[in-house]
Chains A and B, each alone.
Chain A
Amino acid sequence: AQKVTQAQTEISVVEKEDVTLDCVYETRDTTYYLFWYKQPPSGELVFLIRRNSFDEQNEISGRYSWNFQKSTSSFNFTITASQVVDSAVYFCALSEPETSGSRLTFGEGTQLTVNP
């Protein structure tokens, strides 16, 4: 069975601090994808990034960066110089194979609060 763990339930930082959100996953599949979604206070779910199991290159997009390490089954998300608008719940998710409908297994989410 697949599992995604986001051990940090809540994180609170002050604006301009860097913050890392942890994601650890379990799967027996050799081909899989990992995703991060953002849920701002307005409630919608916004796709941020995907990473496949064969690509361990880190990715940077503006103030956001992602570190995928297959050896530790982790896909961590770092926000550099955080801003109040980054306040949201962030979800990490793991895909199941296409034979299972490419279903997603989500972590419990991390509530990030960025204080001015």
Chain B
Amino acid sequence: DAGITQSPRHKVTETGTPVTLRCHQTENHRYMYWYRQDPGHGLRLIHYSYGVKDTDKGEVSDGYSVSRSKTEDFLLTLESATSSQTSVYFCAISDGRINQPQHFGDGTRLSIL
């Protein structure tokens, strides 16, 4: 199994609070991705990173920011959480080649009340 750890695995918080999710990899892959999974939408890309300090927006980036200060860590921050951000969040990694599958962490279930 790819060495990807997401933390926390579950979190319940209140609207308006900041939330940070962490993704840690031991594969030394260059690319890391954050997706959210919602019923009827599959997985949608929030942000991705193609190297330390190099990030780009995905399809649903509004309300989210990311940081990558080390190859192994990719943080997703909700500056002021809203109920619409209740979701399951997945981190994925790859070496960036188009023919390589992305490998996913086990997900973080986030509930915003």
Contacts and interface: CB of A to CB of B under 8 A. Distances in A.
Interface of A: 4, 6, 9, 31-33, 35, 37, 43-45, 47, 50, 52, 91, 93, 95-98, 101-104, 106-109
B104 A45 contact: yes
Interface in B35-68: 35, 40-45, 48, 50, 56, 58
B98 interface: yes
Interface residues of B, number: 28
Nearest to B42: A106
- Residue from A50, A98, A101 with most neighbouring chain B CB atoms (10 Å): A101
A104 B90 contact: no
Contacts of A93: 43
Contacts of A31: 98
A44 B104 contact: yes
Nearest to B56: A101
Contacts of B50: 101
B16 to A, nearest CB: 28
Contacts of B58: 103
A109 B106 contact: no
B96 interface: yes
20 contacts: A4-B42, A32-B98, A44-B104, A47-B101, A47-B102, A47-B103, A52-B99, A91-B43, A93-B43, A97-B98, A98-B97, A101-B31, A102-B31, A103-B33, A103-B45, A103-B58, A104-B33, A106-B35, A107-B42, A108-B42
B94 interface: yes
Nearest to A53: B98
Contacts of A107: 42
A101 B45 CA distance: 12
A43 B98 contact: no
B88 interface: yes
Contacts of B97: 98, 102
A95 B88 CA distance: 22
